[in-house]
Amino acid sequence: MPQFQITLGNANHPPAKTYDDVLKAALEAGKNPYESEIFEQAPIGREDLIQELLQGLTHPDKPCNISLLGEAGMGKTTLLKALRPHLAQVEGLISIHTQIRDWDENDHPDAFFRSLYQSISEALGITEPPIVADYQDFKAEIENLAEQWRFLLIIDEFDKILKHSLFNGFFFSKLRQLADCPECRWGYLTASQQTLKHICDHDSVKESKYWALFDDHRYFLELLPKEAVRTLQTRPFQHGFNVYDAEKLKHKWIIPLEDISGAHPLFLRLCLAQVWQAMQHRQDLNVHDLEETIEEHYSQLWEKQSPRRQKALCQLVYAKAVDAHMIRRLQRRGLLSSKQHLFAKEFYQLIRRQTLVCAEDYRPLLERFKKPKSLWEPLHKTASIATILTVIV
């Protein structure tokens, strides 16, 4: 059965925590402020986006349909969590949180709607809820409840829909009907790596055009602004260690590690978490462990890019022209900065080493790198030879 977390909007709910509140609590508890469970409580650099999202999600008539887009590690799930306390304070709003991975692929659509209504009725304290057998029953009950409430269904990891037999044109046509029905006062917030139109290019759901329902407004999670990066790099260390150690640390490790992390939220957190741990134990930074961690994530990041994006990245490394549309797409994926530079110097070097081949001798060169010695050797197994040759030849 799908798992749903229901929150009934009430102005008496505790307010959202500020970053300083979260940081203070973490330091008092002796915890690493860069660990994910702490880092996610008050995301830095997304404050304006949160306020913009709330304007649409808390509309007095019905929540807007919004899709949140970004690569893995850009903070989509973190942002959804950060929205919860804000939404919880909105009178008359029922926010429903769920993840695709919690949905049973063997469920029938009717079972989905039965389970969803059961969760809502339990949250509302309805002691003798009516029998909801199918979608039509569900929709009728939502219309009744909508005299007092608005509904926001928040779906994380929306990319995974096609792995489940539940998701087909019929199912999504019913979800679309809910948002199209003014009497239901129903809206959606989804988080995914791909645009919903791209996800919809699949035979089982293509005809439903459901992406148009969920995609009224798109928001892309790009690289963090410079001010947010500086806050994350300095504030925890200034509060957690003496001023002398914090300043020395900044020049010894933090600034050099920008070559690895750039303004990417995931890589920034991973690097700073390792630095904090080293400082806490009065040890040198274990660069080898950090390289291994970054190597795995860099590899995944490169492998997930389409051949077209890989080619464009190679063209940028070799100072070749890339059309403006592709540039913007790479920026929205957090791969390029606003100045059209790759997000981190070491990621730039990784791509450059990966493309150190030419038409005459690329095979011997690849043989030489069959056993890479470190992170910065070419990831030749994931490189497309055709892509490489079209860029550099």
12-21, 136-145, 251-260, 371-380, range with greatest mean pLDDT: 136-145
Per-residue pLDDT, 210? 52
Mean pLDDT (whole number) for 360-389: 46
Flag whether pLDDT at 374 surpasses 50: no
Instruction: Return the sign of the alpha-carbon dihedral for residues 356, 360, 364, 367.
Output: positive
Per residue in 281-310, pLDDT (tens digit) is 888 888 888 888 888 888 889 888 888 999
pLDDT over 70 for what percent of the chain? 80
Flag whether pLDDT at 203 surpasses 70: no
Distances (CA, A) of 308 to 177, 301, 311, 334, 358: 36, 14, 5, 16, 20
Per residue in 26-77, pLDDT (tens digit) is 999 999 999 877 877 888 999 999 999 999 999 999 999 999 999 989 999 9
Per residue in 172-190, pLDDT (tens digit) is 788 889 999 999 999 999 9
**Averaged pLDDT of the chain:** 82
Q: What homologous superfamily does CATH list for 5-220?
A: P-loop containing nucleotide triphosphate hydrolases (3.40.50.300)
Mean pLDDT (whole number) for 198-204: 55
Per-residue pLDDT, 267? 94
28-32, 144-148, 164-168, 338-342, range with greatest mean pLDDT: 144-148
The two tokens of residue 88 are 């919880």
The two tokens of residue 269 are 């957190």
Per-residue pLDDT, 380? 41
Per-residue pLDDT, 159? 77
- Per-residue buried b or exposed e for 127-152, using 16+ beta carbons within 10 Å of the residue's own CB: eeeeebeebebbbebbbebbeebbbb
pLDDT over 90 for what percent of the chain? 47
CB 266 within 8 A of CB 73: yes
Flag whether pLDDT at 268 surpasses 80: yes
Flag whether pLDDT at 195 surpasses 80: no
Q: Which residue has the higher pLDDT, 379 or 171?
A: 171
Per-residue pLDDT, 369? 45
Per-residue pLDDT, 393? 43
Which residue ranges make up each domain of the chain? 5-220, 226-285, 306-392
Flag whether pLDDT at 333 surpasses 90: yes
Angle at 127 between CA 125 and CA 131, to 5 degrees: 110
Q: Which residue has the higher pLDDT, 132 or 379?
A: 132
Phi-psi region of 116 (alpha: psi -120 to 50; beta: other; left: phi over 0): alpha
pLDDT bucket at 367, cuts 50 / 70 / 90: low
209, with CB counted inside 10 A (0-12, 13-18, 19+), is middle
Per-residue pLDDT, 110? 83
283, with CB counted inside 10 A (0-12, 13-18, 19+), is exposed
Per-residue pLDDT, 360? 39
Per-residue pLDDT, 214? 60
For the whole model, what pTM was predicted?
0.84
Q: Which residue has the higher pLDDT, 210 or 83?
A: 83
Per-residue pLDDT, 279? 85
26 vs 98: CA distance, rounded Å = 27
Per-residue pLDDT, 172? 79
Report the amino acid identity of residue 370.
K
Per-residue pLDDT, 6? 96
Per-residue pLDDT, 100? 73
98: β partners: 155
Flag whether pLDDT at 146 surpasses 50: yes
Least confident residue range of 195-209, 217-231, 253-267: 195-209
Per-residue pLDDT, 220? 94
Q: Within 13 A of 388's CA, how many CA atoms are on the CB side? A: 22
Mean pLDDT (whole number) for 87-113: 83
pLDDT bucket at 166, cuts 50 / 70 / 90: low
Per residue in 103-117, pLDDT (tens digit) is 665 667 788 899 899
Least confident residue range of 143-147, 308-312, 324-328: 308-312
223 vs 226: CA distance, rounded Å = 9
- Per DSSP, the three-state class of 188 is strand
